[in-house]
Amino acid sequence: MADDAPPTDLLDYLADSLGDPPPRRILLVAEDDAALTSRIRERVPDANCLILPPGDMDDAHVGEQAFELGIVADLVESRPARTAAQALGRLRDIYTHRFWLIVNPTAAWTNADLIGYGLKRAGRFGDWRLYRFNIHDYKDVPDWLNSRYWANPERWGQERW
């Protein structure tokens, strides 16, 4: 990363959280971070890893096929707020179904800013923060969203809407 490397316990946590089986396609977005990339390559040697600096994260560099996992560092610290926000949206909506975001202590982004993009706080490692996004669990299903309350053919004609 630009200033400091993330703490070892954060890297260990990421390496242990890759899942079983581990992902085959990984997008690593970081400013020349040998510690992060080597740890991931060590844990998943057969994975197809695309390593990009945050400034190169666009359709031309990423390609069309979605990644199984993204690990992102130096994005919210090194990019203007608008550019970082657009990159988070592209990660969430286009490039990957789940990703981890490592937030450096120097970042001005707050917990509320990141939760607004659908991320969940995954942990704190010293002054470093880790957030995650997974399309499969980013939103809890509300109780009313079921056929008992609406779109139920058995209730047609019984309610006036």
Q: What are phi and psi of 82, to 5 degrees?
A: -65, -45
The top-level CATH class assigned to 20-135 is alpha beta
116's tokens: 């607004």
Count of residues making up the chain: 161
pLDDT of residue 101: 94
Encode the chain (161 residues) as per-residue pLDDT tens digits. Answer: 444 677 888 888 888 888 788 888 998 888 766 788 888 888 888 888 888 888 787 777 787 778 999 999 888 887 888 988 988 988 888 889 899 999 988 888 888 999 988 899 998 998 899 999 998 887 777 777 766 666 666 766 776 65
> Is residue 64 helix, strand or coil?
coil
pLDDT of residue 161: 58
pLDDT of residue 1: 41
Q: What single string gives the DSSP state of each residue in 105-160?
A: TT----HHHHHTTT-EEEEEETTEEEEEEETTTSSPPPTT-STTTSS-GGGTTTS-
